[in-house]
Amino acid sequence: MAMIIPKSLKKGDTVALISASGATPEHRIERAIQAVEKLGFHVVVGETCRARHGYFGGSDELRAKELNDMFRNPEIDGIFCIRGGYGATRILPMLDLEMIKENPKVFAGYSDVTALHIVFNQQCGFVTYHTPMPSTEFIRPEMDEYTWEYFINSVTNTGWSDYFLENAKDQIMNTVVPGTATGKLAGGNLTLVAASLGTPFEIDLKGKILFLEDIDENVQRIDRMLTQLSLSGKLQQLSGILLGGWTDCGPMDLNNAENNLSLDTVFEEILVPLNIPILKDVTCGHVLPTMSLPLGKTVTIDATNKSIRVVGQFDV
């Protein structure tokens, strides 16, 4: 399927801040708004940014309606998810995907937002952006120039192609399995990718390059989710794999080394037998610095020489 590239954002454009997932801590909201305004955008703050229904940013109905409304509204040029958390999967059946398909816009976020990236890439056919978010990374004191540059270039130059996704300085990608591969970039958070299986919104990985990252999952749970993807046949359909940050993804049992496997061992036992190019330690995920990724665009990975290139949209 030819992918639609959303119109680039420019200074003065109107960006909606929404939460399709978790409730946003009150003390972060104004700082998040100011951070986006500082980039030169006019900000419309969705009700979900201040709403709360337990751990959600408002009810499922509110979060779905607001996301639909922001895509439908011609005065909204782009949509930034203010945070992740949990909840995006619950609103998927309530989204007007035909309408969203007719109104592609810059859509940015990551983590729980992976559920929406999968659906918008596959069922609506447009490129989305795996990026840091306003109430989390944007307002952290350690937010860095590398991360800002990748984010700004991604959302203000959506036609950007024939460039390399390069790690932050002094952070080195490492080869797991050598070789080269080309395919559309897909994925995001491993937990959300695995959770899509068996649903109408299941991820399609045929011929694709899969990016994966996660946070606060012990190695046993990562093993379980990768095994699920393998048993489903999804991993066997891939052209290549990129492994990003695994933040606080440590041993299951800190007090008994015999009960633990390393992440590298899990990757070696589950992913290496696929015999496809695999790069790890990509600077992306629940980490800073972090790059922004154009999900749905075609990339070429050279795991031997440790490079990732976003290629021209020859498939459009």
Q: Annotated catalytic sites, by residue?
A: 111, 213, 286
Neighbours of 15 (CB within 10 A): 24
b (16+ CB within 10 A) / e for 139-157: beeebeebbbebbeebbbe
Which residue is listed with tokens 């930034």? 80
DSSP secondary structure code for residue 203 in this structure: P
Torsion region of 122: left, alpha or beta (phi above 0 gives left; psi -120 to 50 gives alpha) = alpha
- Both tokens of residue 196? 């899509």
- Both tokens of residue 192? 């959300």
Which strands form 106-109's sheet, in the order they lie side by side? 42-45, 14-18, 78-81, 106-109, 128-130, 293-295
DSSP secondary structure code for residue 151 in this structure: H
C-alpha span between 99 and 94 (Å, rounded) = 12
Closest CA to 108 of 174, 163, 188, 52: 188
